[in-house]
Amino acid sequence: MPDSICPKPTPQFTTAEYAGSPGGDRCAACNQPITARYYRVNGRIACEGCTEQLKQRLPQDSHAAYVRALIFGIGAAIVGLAFYAGFTIITHFYIGYVSLAVGWLIGKAMLMGSKGAGGRRYQIAAVLLTYAAVSMAAIPIALADRSESTTKPATQSTQQPSADGQTSQSEEGSAEPAVSSKKSLGSILLTLTYLGLASPFLELQDPVYGLIGLVILFVGIRIAWRLTQGRSAAIDGPFDNAAAASV
């Protein structure tokens, strides 16, 4: 069937079917009568011409598209982590709803990188990136809180000499940071990574606050999952039109 039969630039299959009409079954996209063969697109009858147009316009999945989606998704995860942590550090408001924006940002970025292609592997990657971005944001937030708590007492207190003219015992403890600094950078990063990834569950020490945070995080992950489903259509067929064949 020639393409000129379908006047719409992109076949649409959200309108009602024209099954059982006096002229026989009709295509849900172009409303033309079905001839020898037909397809079902998302459960609706479609002619061969409109089905071929739809196949050509659907985004094609490939290894290159998946790699681009991962690159865009990782970049969006870094931006989302920085936004989540920066917002919390600056405002001192722990608003879990920011994770919804992180999930949306990662899903949209991956969809942009793949040029509309999606699927299960895209969804799994989006879930992992969203969880990592939100959970790892706890590290800079905790470091900022610790820095504030340690600098305030230091500025308010001064070093007091002891009765015999020697400095207080705070100097004797100054050797402890030197000992702790001998820890390898790798072990420190590994510990921070573990604490960051486990932070959503560690917050369950406060059952109410922790549970609310997990629910909001799950919703953000769900947003990323749905976005990376991609633009697809369930195409079944071709089927032989028995009515046309009997004519």
Tell me the C-alpha distance between 140 and 217, whole Å. 18
Mean pLDDT of 95-104: 88
Task: Answer yes or no: is 38 within a domain.
Answer: yes
Q: What's the pLDDT at 221?
A: 94
Q: Which residues pair with 235 in a beta bridge?
A: 41
Q: How confident is the model at residue 108 (pLDDT cuts 50, 70, 90)?
A: very high
Shared domain for 43 and 110, answered yes or no, is: no
Residue 222 has pLDDT above 60, yes or no: yes
Mean pLDDT of 204-208: 81
Shared domain for 52 and 80, answered yes or no, is: no
Amino acid 128 reads: L
Amino acid 12 reads: Q
**Mean pLDDT rounded to a whole number for the chain:** 76
Shared domain for 115 and 215, answered yes or no, is: yes
Domain that holds residue 126: 63-148+185-227
Shared domain for 80 and 196, answered yes or no, is: yes
Shared domain for 102 and 22, answered yes or no, is: no
Best CA proximity match to 29, nearest among 13, 49, 5, 9: 13
| CB atoms inside a 10 Å sphere around CB 130 | 30
Mean pLDDT of 104-124: 92
Tell me the C-alpha distance between 113 and 96, whole Å. 27
Shared domain for 97 and 14, answered yes or no, is: no
Q: What's the pLDDT at 6?
A: 45
Q: What's the pLDDT at 182?
A: 53
Task: Answer yes or no: is 162 within a domain.
Answer: no
Residue of higher predicted confidence among 65 and 145: 65
Shared domain for 108 and 143, answered yes or no, is: yes
Shared domain for 194 and 209, answered yes or no, is: yes
Which residue bears the tokens 């070093």? 159
Task: Answer yes or no: is 52 within a domain.
Answer: yes
Shared domain for 31 and 106, answered yes or no, is: no
Residue of higher predicted confidence among 103 and 95: 103
Q: Judge contact between 110 and 69, C-beta under 8 A.
A: yes
Best CA proximity match to 17, nearest among 1, 51, 41, 37: 41
Mean pLDDT of 186-213: 82
Q: Judge contact between 203 and 142, C-beta under 8 A.
A: no
Q: Judge contact between 86 and 79, C-beta under 8 A.
A: no
Shared domain for 107 and 209, answered yes or no, is: yes
Amino acid 230 reads: G
Q: What's the pLDDT at 165?
A: 47
Mean pLDDT of 112-140: 92
Tell me the C-alpha distance between 192 and 202, whole Å. 13
* pTM for the model: 0.65
Q: What's the pLDDT at 201?
A: 86
Q: What's the pLDDT at 227?
A: 93
Task: Answer yes or no: is 35 within a domain.
Answer: yes
Instruction: Render pLDDT for 33-90 as a digit per residue (tens, 0 to 9).
Output: 877 788 888 778 888 778 777 777 777 778 999 999 999 999 999 999 999 999 888 8
Sheet containing 37-41, strands listed edge to edge, beginning at the edge strand earlier in sequence: 44-46, 37-41, 235-240
Which residue bears the tokens 């020490």? 205
Task: Answer yes or no: is 157 within a domain.
Answer: no
From 140-154, 171-185, 189-203, 220-234, the region with the lowest mean pLDDT: 171-185
Number of domains in the chain: 2
Q: What's the pLDDT at 13?
A: 53
Shared domain for 115 and 70, answered yes or no, is: yes
Residue of higher predicted confidence among 14 and 188: 188
Alpha carbon distances (Å) from 86 to 59, 98, 195: 36, 11, 19
Task: Answer yes or no: is 175 within a domain.
Answer: no
Shared domain for 97 and 140, answered yes or no, is: yes
| CB atoms inside a 10 Å sphere around CB 229 | 15
Task: Answer yes or no: is 153 within a domain.
Answer: no
Q: How confident is the model at residue 210 (pLDDT cuts 50, 70, 90)?
A: confident
Residue 159 has pLDDT above 80, yes or no: no
Task: Answer yes or no: is 92 within a domain.
Answer: yes
